[in-house]
Amino acid sequence: MAEIKIDVKGETCPVPLVEVRKALRKASPGDIVEVTGTHSASKKEIPMAVEALGLELIDVEEEKGIWKIKIRR
């Protein structure tokens, strides 16, 4: 099981979601994709996309304007 980290801090839509989708395509079942960013709309869009894809949203946390989302493929 691998952990793939993506840093999209400072990027705005649609870049964070596009990068997450790329990482999820490369990931194997059971892998964890962790994305870190600052764009507030992406913090809402990424979990919705994860749900639509039928994947597991492990965690969403935010501290000082920087959010981190963990997804299990």
Q: Which residues are catalytic?
A: 13
For 64: left if phi > 0, alpha if psi spans -120 to 50, otherwise beta; the answer is: left
d(CA 72, CA 58): 7
Bond prior to 14 in cis (omega within 30° of 0): yes
